[in-house]
Amino acid sequence: MPHSQILGTGVYLPPRVVTNFDVMQMMETTNEFIVERTGVRRRRHADPELSASDLAAAACQSAVADAGLSMDQIDLVIMNTITPDHADPGCAFFLQPKLGLSGIPVIDIKQQCAGLIYGLSIADHFVRAGTYRHVLVVCAEMLSKRIDGSYDGRNIAILLGDGAGAAVVGPAKDGQEGILSTILHADGSGAKALVTAAPGSGLGRKEHITKEDIDSGRVHFRMDGKAVFENGVARMSEAVFESLSANGLTMDQIDVLIPHQANLRMLEAIVKQTGFPTEKVYVNVEEYGNIASASLPIALDEARRKGMVKPGSLVLLVAFGSGFVWASALLRM
């Protein structure tokens, strides 16, 4: 079976820059704490009238143009977000008309920060099987709408930014390699370490949501920061070695490693644990904060535009997110 390939990438980053000093107006925190513990200095927040599907649409338009295609050549859309336009139906249904693609299939996935790699994996299988020719994978987040500056919410709130990134997957051009492997993992025994409990059917009562859920903060992210940090570092480091071994490669053959931009201290720990040379690791978390699933496609697109990822580069993506979910993708660009 011929390989699939990323034919184009695109992003949308809102223009409004929010510094740590702006975050200090939203909650009890300090610039020193944020920089020391997370490395984040700035993030982007979108205009509140916008939704995840608006950000996604802009990223998709630019990815399709970058691929040299027109939107009507897209056969399937896969979308990942933890900030959907509405609770249901899936966010891809709100995105689709904005792309003028009514009638083609759309799939919503909910793989948190590993959304890009899960989406690439699904797209890769459909393209290689010949089911669909051009698949748009898009990750978009409006995390500014999920900031809870309370004592219990501020450990994660300081990280969060908005943005969207998309990739077009299609058949690899003659003789090229493209997506070499995607390796997916999950361990739901960690699901409660980073969770938004309400609304839901798992609250042991009749109501899907109550006023008490809002008052008690159950509608916000709650994170066991230490568990997420330790698991994130361990699983993403393992994913690096697993991908190398599955592809019969050594670290020095990889041109660029792009990990999920969770937190600078996590990225530093991954570098230490894997021994990966720092200069080959793409990092932009200081500028954009953690944009959940959108972080990885934005980093990939930016690394391409800055020339760190070139045509022919061997790029390793690794991601980790709540669930727990983790994954790797090895790409020949």
Ligand X SMILES: CC(C)(COP(=O)(O)OP(=O)(O)OC[C@H]1O[C@@H](n2cnc3c(N)ncnc32)[C@H](O)[C@@H]1OP(=O)(O)O)[C@@H](O)C(=O)NCCC(=O)NCCS
Beta-carbon contacts of residue 108 (< 8 Å; ≥ 6 apart): 79, 80, 84, 89, 90, 91, 92, 93
Q: 3-state DSSP call for residue 319?
A: strand
Contacts (CB under 6 A) with ligand X, residues 191-230: 225-226, 228-229
C-alpha to C-alpha distances, 290 to 142, 163, 283, nearest whole angstrom: 11, 10, 11
Q: Which is nearer to ligand X, 10 or 321 (CB)?
A: 321
CB nearer to ligand X: give 94 or 221.
Answer: 221
Catalytically annotated residues: 113, 260, 290
325 lies in the binding site for ligand X (CB under 6 A): no
Residue 154 binds ligand X, judged by CB under 6 A: yes
Residues 6 or more apart from 95 whose CB is under 8 A from it?
Answer: 53, 56, 57, 60, 77, 79, 106, 138, 140
Instruction: State the binding string over 271-300 for ligand X (x if CB under 6 A, else -).
Output: -------------------x----------
Nearer to ligand X, 37 or 110 (CB): 37
Please give the C-alpha separations between residue 94 and each of 11, 12, 104, 122, 316, in angstroms, as whole numbers: 18, 17, 13, 21, 31
- Phi (first) and psi of residue 17, to 5 degrees: -90, 130
Q: Which residue is nearest to ligand X (CB)?
A: 225
Query: Which of the stretches 29-37, 103-111, 135-143, 236-244 binds ligand X when contact is defined by CB under 6 A?
Result: 29-37
Q: Residues 38, 80, 121, 293: which binds ligand X (CB under 6 A)?
A: 38
Considering only residues 155, 182, 243, 328, which one is a binding residue for ligand X as defined by CB under 6 A? 155
Compute the half-sphere exposure of residue 160: CA atoms within 13 Å on the CB side of its CA.
Answer: 21
For ligand X, the binding residues (CB under 6 A) are: 29, 33, 37-38, 113, 154-155, 158-159, 225-226, 228-229, 232, 262-263, 265-266, 290, 320-321
